[in-house]
């Protein structure tokens, strides 16, 4: 293996961005191939699992932003719209954890479970979407990154260590590690990778996938009252539907919001069906924010505040069953995409690079009104300033790839 060869990152999703930030810290040269270009913004502002939080903090530290020390919220970091208000999810009614788990599985549609949970973490002052956008900006014209778009793979060789790739734009290079961060369907563009990842994908069925429809709204004016947690807004069922589907979303900034719904394969066969879901998404938002407490002066509905929208549809993006298995036979080839959700990709990244679990004892609890805690089910914890200057506390292993 050529130790001076670059690392290949194949794909455009969130996993690729956080991965590249880690590789730059290790002074790697990177060939970043866009592949299909499939990507979503983080579906919710919270993550599941302490390892995912550690990955966010690690990325922020390496970015060296001037962001103030974020505070950590743990518990249920989203609110559900029902009975004309945003309230705790119904599965939180029970005080028994097992009963909550059962109610969660019963009442939350399978693809949405990847982004909601019994225990969520949210870093106030460190929004995942803004952090990802800052990293993407920092990668532009970076001397260690060669970005390649719209260049299919012509030849691909797997060596005992690393391999070699040839692209349609004329690039031919050996590589010492290959990270596949694209959606699973893109593996067919590099047939030899299907063999390499056969063991890692052995429990994943290609039929167990969902598509995602995501829209970003740019608002001419902010709402009167902002809700800075994640939001879950039920959609009315279509005729014949037997499950409840929700709009998942949040406000990135006062004048920018992100909303996502998931679709089954049968709903993606015609553009008409996809656009129908987009219309229902907008209707659901109008219904949820129809109170004078939210609507700015002169605006009669939520959509009247929108001056621009960006719609993205990613087919078969989310994997709803199975898991990625570890493989020791091809350690230079790593499957690290967003197919199981944003939190899962951060957790896999943290495990691959040996991040330590987040030690909550490093956080200092604030004096909080017990009544407000009961009402919100969120514990607010201030983060010590030294945690934004990542050191050995959050990243113990410095093993090379």
Q: 210-267 pLDDT, tens per residue?
A: 999 999 999 999 999 888 899 999 998 888 788 889 999 999 999 999 999 999 988 8
Token pair recorded at residue 290: 């129809």
- Identify the DSSP state of 294: T
CATH 3.50.50.60, applies to 7-76+118-204+321-388 = yes
Residue with the bigger pLDDT between 251 and 190: it is: 251
pLDDT of the residue at 67: 56
Sheet with 85-87: list strands edge to edge.
Answer: 85-87, 78-82, 230-234, 246-253, 256-263, 209-219, 306-319
* Separation of alpha carbons 85 and 366, rounded Å: 28
Q: What percent of the chain has pLDDT over 70?
A: 87
CB 396 within 8 A of CB 356: yes
| In the predicted structure, residue 357 carries a pLDDT above the cut 90 | no
Residue predicted with more confidence, 126 or 69: 126
**What integer pLDDT is reported at residue 216 of this predicted model?**
98
H-type alpha helices, 247-295: 271-288
pLDDT mean over 35-40: 94
Distance CA(300)–CA(136), nearest Å, equals 37
| pTM listed for this prediction | 0.88
- Tell which residue, 169, 39, 84, 71, has the closest CA to residue 378: 71
- C-alpha dihedral sign at 230, 235, 240, 244: positive
All residues at 6 or more sequence positions from 135 whose CB lies less than 8 Å from its CB, including other chains: 17, 18, 20, 21, 59, 63
- Beta-bridge partner residues of 157: 164
Contact 315, 306 (CB under 8 A): no
Residue 387 has pLDDT above 80, yes or no: no
Encode pLDDT of 93-142 as tens digits. 888 899 999 999 999 999 999 999 998 999 888 899 999 999 999 999 99
pLDDT tens figures, 273-323: 899 999 999 999 999 999 999 999 999 999 999 999 999 999 999 999 888
So where are the chain's domains? 7-76+118-204+321-388, 209-319
With CA atoms as reference, report the closest residue to 260 among 241, 229, 285: 285
């Amino acid at each position: 293996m050529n130790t001076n060869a670059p690392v290949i990152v194949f794909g455009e999703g969130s996993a690729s961005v956080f991965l590249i930030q880690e590789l730059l810290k290790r002074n790697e040269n990177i060939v970043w191939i866009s592949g299909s270009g499939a990507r979503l913004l983080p579906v919710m502002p919270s993550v599941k699992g302490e390892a995912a939080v550690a990955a966010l903090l690690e990325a922020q530290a390496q970015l060296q932003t001037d962001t103030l020390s974020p505070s950590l919220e743990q518990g249920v970091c989203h609110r559900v719209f029902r009975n004309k208000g945003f309230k705790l999810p119904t599965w939180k009614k029970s005080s028994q954890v097992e009963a909550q788990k059962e109610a969660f599985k019963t009442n939350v549609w399978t693809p949405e479970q990847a982004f909601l949970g019994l225990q969520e973490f949210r870093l106030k002052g460190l929004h995942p979407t803004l952090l990802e956008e800052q990293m993407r900006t920092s990668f532009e014209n970076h001397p260690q990154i060669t970005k390649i778009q719209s260049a299919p793979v012509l030849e691909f060789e797997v060596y005992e260590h690393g391999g070699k790739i040839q692209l349609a734009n004329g690039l031919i290079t050996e590589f010492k590690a290959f990270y596949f961060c694209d959606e699973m369907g893109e593996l067919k563009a590099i047939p030899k990778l299907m063999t390499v990842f056969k063991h890692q994908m052995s429990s994943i069925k290609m039929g167990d996938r969902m598509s995602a429809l995501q829209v970003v709204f740019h608002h001419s004016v902010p709402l009167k009252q902002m809700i800075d947690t994640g939001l879950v807004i039920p959609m009315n069922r279509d005729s014949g539907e037997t499950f409840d589907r929700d709009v998942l979303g949040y406000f990135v900034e006062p004048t920018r919001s992100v909303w996502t719904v998931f679709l089954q394969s049968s709903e993606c066969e015609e553009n008409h069906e996809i656009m129908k879901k987009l219309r229902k998404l907008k209707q659901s938002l109008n219904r949820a924010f129809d109170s004078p407490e939210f609507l700015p002066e002169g605006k009669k509905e939520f959509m009247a505040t929108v001056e621009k929208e960006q719609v993205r549809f990613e087919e078969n993006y989310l994997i709803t069953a199975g898991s990625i298995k570890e493989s020791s036979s091809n350690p230079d080839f790593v499957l690290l995409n967003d197919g199981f959700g944003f939190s899962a990709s951060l957790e896999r990244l943290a495990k691959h690079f040996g991040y330590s679990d987040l030690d909550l004892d490093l956080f200092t609890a604030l004096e909080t009104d017990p009544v407000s805690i009961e009402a919100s089910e969120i514990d607010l914890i201030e983060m010590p300033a030294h945690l934004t200057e990542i050191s050995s506390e959050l990243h113990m292993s410095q093993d090379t790839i």
